Structure 1
């Protein structure tokens, strides 16, 4: 029986964040204070007990002078079978993300996001240090907020925008799941 993406173990990011923080000689308090979260919350992130919003994860990486791509393993294969998708924690709430392209060698990063009802990137707007972001809604309805303006994309709809502008996303339904493909070019180097 083939594994589905949700059967695969996820790539935990907490160890990498903790190792980088310790390499820099920073305490939990140092990082928490710098990004505006509690020390307890940051400890939970480092132990993979909770998932930060996308905005919080980007701030953590920025504080640690760590590209967000360093959190995810390099997939050498040019063919990624459904059963081989890497489950990643890119941040967000009630969401499962999968890296679906060869990461380090690629000129883009493709992430499949499966959002439970009400799930998404978090309420706080964030930006990504890339040139272009493309969203394709595969299932359900996804709300994209870009610089305070909200656009609802339904199944089959697409949107392109500058990811350096403050934005976030969320499943537009409180009862049905949604699924979207996010492509960012070049891969974020935050």
Structure 2
């Protein structure tokens, strides 16, 4: 089995989760039990050796009273050049995510997702503590599931929904890649 080299300038989500857990004086066992994950897997996540699914990341942040968006804060200007896109590990399967908005953007976070054939945000439905979520398909076909309703979005299609409702998404193709932009609008401070 081959492993990918560390992503340059990638936020160390696991290290941030571990720091918050220790600040709250919680054990691995306590957090693992509360988030419904094994202690061993949580340990790998905290050491940035494994990437949690979006649903698990949301559960961990809930247990730790940590806003999900705080894990992806970056330092930068209002311009994010193509060569300076920050790869982030946001979970899912066969997906690469890039934070396109700088940390100074407090009203919206923009994520570009490259989905390999069959790639997805994860099998489990998840919800986010945000006011609104917007998705725009740049390439391919995306299936977005919100509650029990699945909507097919083709290249150029867009969808807006309440991200507090359980949802997930996946590349509709098992042979072609897809690419989409996601915009998350956090609740007012």
TM over 0.5: yes
Aligned to 1:108: 108
Alignment partner of 1:107: what SS? coil
Alpha-carbon shift at residue 9 of structure 1 (Å): 4.8
Alignment partner of 2:26: what SS? coil
Aligned residues: 184
Alpha-carbon shift at residue 74 of structure 1 (Å): 2.7
1:179/1:187 Cα in 2 relative to 1: closer, same or farther (>3 Å)? farther
CA contact (8 A) 2:145 2:169 kept: yes
C-alpha separation in 1, matches of 2:136 and 2:161? 12
* Greater RCO, CA 8 A, separation 6+: 1
Alpha-carbon shift at residue 102 of structure 1 (Å): 1.8
Alignment partner of 1:18: what SS? helix
Runs (4 or more) in structure 1 with deviation over 3 Å come to none
Contiguous gaps of at least 5 residues in structure 2: 1-6
Q: What's the TM-score once normalised by structure 2's chain length? A: 0.90
CA contact (8 A) 2:78 2:104 kept: no
CA deviations over 1:24-58 (Å, ceiling 9, x no partner): 11111111100111111111111112111111101
CA RMSD of aligned residues (A): 1.9
Q: What's the TM-score once normalised by structure 1's chain length? A: 0.90
Contiguous gaps of at least 5 residues in structure 1: 1-6
Aligned to 2:117: 117
